[in-house]
A and B are shown apart, each in its own frame.
Chain A
Amino acid sequence: MFSNRLLNLTWKSLALGAMLSAAAVSPALAAKPKVGYIYVGPKTDFGYNYAMDQGRLVVEKKLGVKTVFFENIPENAEVERVMERLINQGFTLIFATSYGYLDPALNVAKKYPKVTFMHGGGFKLAPNLGTFFADIDEVEYLAGIAAGAASKTGKLGYIAAHPIPQTLRNINAWTLGAQSVNPKITTTVVWTGSWSDPTKEAEAANTLIDGGADVLSMHVDGPITVAQTAEKRGVMVTGYHADASKFAPKGWLVGAAWNWGELMTKIVSSVEKGTWKSEHLRGKLSDNYVKLTGFGPKVPASAKTAIAAKEKAFKGGADLWVGPITAQDGSVVLKAGETLPMAKIESMNFLVKGVVATIK
């Protein structure tokens, strides 16, 4: 099945190769990079992979370069084979989008120094391998404002896979956003113990709703199950990764989404111009690498105003992790005016006051 797809690709690239050699007289066209994308899951998951593929589509549209993608590629030697095939077919820039692709990408990068590799979220470099990622916590804060303003019960629910710094960061940011409009807000967290276990996600959502939560959010691979369950039970939901409003047309408030198109366009054109360099590219709201999705019908107008004001402040350089911030147990994390250093943010190991959850 897989080889079929590759075969198909081979034919296409042969045809393309013929076209390219015919047009070889034009150096501008010949210099256009051919970009390969590799995803760990299906590109239609309305989650991480979907967001990456949306970025690919933007690159194609904006720069008119040739792209190709492979989905459902496991994080093992298989991905090295996919990379080598891409390279053999003349692809010159490869986006290895999943975290577990880092070491395979480093292996292949060593063998093919003329090919450029970009890895999603890693912390290793090679002369021809750089990494890219973005911080989404500011957008979670903005979505939290919508959740806090729309909630009638003052109880929010959050479904997350594992208690790790990335999830704690999102839960805290979301809760702080909600508390900025309603200080009495509490967020109850249920850990499912898995990035993708729809049964548990549905059960966790039901449990939170039974407990009185009327706005849910999630940090698992795909937002669909939680959005569907919230809609079925008549409560509201804010999303993660991508716009999943179609699964909850009534209850969808807003979502925190990646905006890879912007960043990827920058990367691809730097390769095209020859200005690319090996580095850790990181961005946030002010770089427009992450964004809010469109609003659903239940977001109060006052919340939209508050969100717009805060978004402007963040883009202007305002800090999210600024004191006073109190931890779950009442201990002081940050005194008024203090800020959290980047290393502490990236290794976050506390929950803010108002969050109900156990993390150890």
Chain B
Amino acid sequence: MELGVFIAGVLLSGLRSATPLLYVLLGETLTERTGVVNLGVEGQMLLGAFAGFAATVVTGNPWTGLAVGALAGMLLSVVHGALCLGLKANYFASGVAVWMLGGGLSAYFGISMVGQRIDGFAPIPFGALAKIPVIGPAIDQITPTVFLALALCALTGFFLYRTRLGLYWRAVGESAEAASTMGIRPLWIKWQGVLAGGLLSGLGGAALSVDYTRNWIEWMTAGRGLIAVGLVIVARWNPLLALPAALLFGTTEALTLRMQTLGVNVSPYLLGTLPYLVCLAVLIYGYRRARSRGGMPRDLAAVFAKTE
């Protein structure tokens, strides 16, 4: 029973804290499936977090906040697209530029938003479900953004593997050259991938500020966008694996915090590295098993191998 409570608690708090990350992870997965890498998601998350929070302050409606945050993230994608698709700049350089731009813009315009109060989403009335022992109280804390992220996970999976456009995206990611002989316009598809990624990254940032923390402070994502970029590899570029990958990180982080509350006699500094170690271990294990690109789109492999 005690163990049951513990595990349920860890899983649910993992899901709770992994939710903003899951959006970004899905977004970057989509972008990379079209053969483009975007390190700028950190900046897009930040701009989304700021814009979403500001919109919620102004309108009082957290849904508007999510929408505005998503749009802000997409807007920054236009910069990344223009640099690396339009001007053929190096993906990594362009991504870092977007990262810094998003961070700087959000910090500057966000000064007036520091210390503002928002109410976020009202709790979902779960009724009888919330009364189930052990998991009930945890279920009670699930907010709309958690459901939205789970739905998007299924939706992007369906899109990539079950729709014609999804097939085009994957084709472009595998080989833009081959795709163009099939009559697909790779550049246009890559643009779509970049824009979709920005939309989801902005949404993830907004979920963080509007729903999870109900707070805005400059650079509040603290590197989580970059973690999402790393987790794409752990999830092997598969949106359906994005959920377990995000959960892996989220639950390990939740677990390390929970271990502190149990008085486990391990240095808090050491515990703090655990989420990264676990993800690294999974990555190594996954690579050893696959003994291949680990699901990496073929054109992406070219990006990593030679960065023009």
Contacts and interface: CB of A to CB of B under 8 A. Distances in A.
Interface of A: 1, 41-42, 44-46, 50, 71-72, 157, 163, 188-191, 193-194, 196-204, 206-208, 210-211, 221-222, 224-225, 228-229, 232-233, 246-247, 356-360
Contacts of B112: 44
A72 B114 CA distance: 12
Interface in B48-93: none
The 9 tightest CB contacts between A and B, nearest first, are A44-B115, A198-B213, A191-B268, A42-B114, A228-B214, A356-B263, A225-B215, A44-B114, A207-B257
A145 to B, nearest CB: 23
Given A193-B269, A196-B217, A356-B261, A46 B141 contact: no
Contact of B111 (A42, A222, A357, A360): A42
Contacts of A206: 13, 16, 141
B272 to A, nearest CB: 5
Nearest to B20: A199
Interface in B275-295: none
Contact of A199 (B111, B115, B224, B269): B224
Nearest to B260: A190
B265 interface: yes
Contacts of A247: 117
Secondary structure call for the A interface:
mixed
21 contacts: A41-B114, A42-B115, A42-B218, A72-B218, A189-B260, A191-B260, A191-B268, A193-B272, A194-B222, A197-B222, A199-B208, A200-B222, A203-B17, A206-B13, A206-B16, A207-B257, A225-B213, A225-B215, A356-B262, A357-B260, A358-B267
A198 B45 CA distance: 14
A243 B181 CA distance: 65
Nearest to B213: A198
B254 interface: yes
B222 A207 contact: no
A207 B224 contact: no
B212 interface: yes
Nearest to A249: B117
A210 B268 CA distance: 19
A199 B107 contact: no
The residue in A50, A157, A163, A193 that gathers the most chain B C-beta atoms within 10 A of its C-beta is: A193
A360 B267 contact: yes
B127 to A, nearest CB: 17
Contact of A163 (B111, B262, B268): B268
B213 A201 contact: yes
A206 B220 CA distance: 18
B214 A207 contact: no
B258 A193 contact: no
B221 to A, nearest CB: 8
A232 B214 contact: yes
B222 A190 contact: no
Contacts of B262: 356
Given A190-B257, A193-B272, A357-B263, A199 B214 contact: no
A229 B211 CA distance: 10
Contacts of A229: 213-214
The residue in B13, B138, B212 that gathers the most chain A C-beta atoms within 10 A of its C-beta is: B212
Contacts of A189: 260
Given A188-B261, A224-B215, A357-B263, A45 B115 contact: yes
Contact of A50 (B115, B137, B269): B115
B120 to A, nearest CB: 7
Contacts of A225: 213-215
Contacts of A207: 13, 254, 257-258, 261
Contacts of B261: 157, 188, 190, 207-208, 211, 356
The residue in A44, A191, A210 that gathers the most chain B C-beta atoms within 10 A of its C-beta is: A210
Given A246-B117, A358-B267, A222 B217 contact: yes
Contacts of A359: 268
B115 A204 contact: no
B115 A203 contact: no
B260 A358 contact: yes
Contacts of B224: 199
B204 to A, nearest CB: 11
A198 B220 contact: yes
A207 B14 CA distance: 10
B215 A358 contact: no
A71 B116 CA distance: 17
Contacts of A233: 141
The residue in A50, A157, A198 that gathers the most chain B C-beta atoms within 10 A of its C-beta is: A198
Given A163-B268, A193-B272, A358-B263, 4 more contacts: A207-B13, A228-B120, A228-B215, A357-B263
Interface string B103-144: 000011001101111001000000000000000011001000
Nearest to B209: A198
Contacts of B269: 193
B264 interface: yes
Contacts of A208: 261
Given A191-B260, A203-B254, A358 B220 contact: no
B108 to A, nearest CB: 6
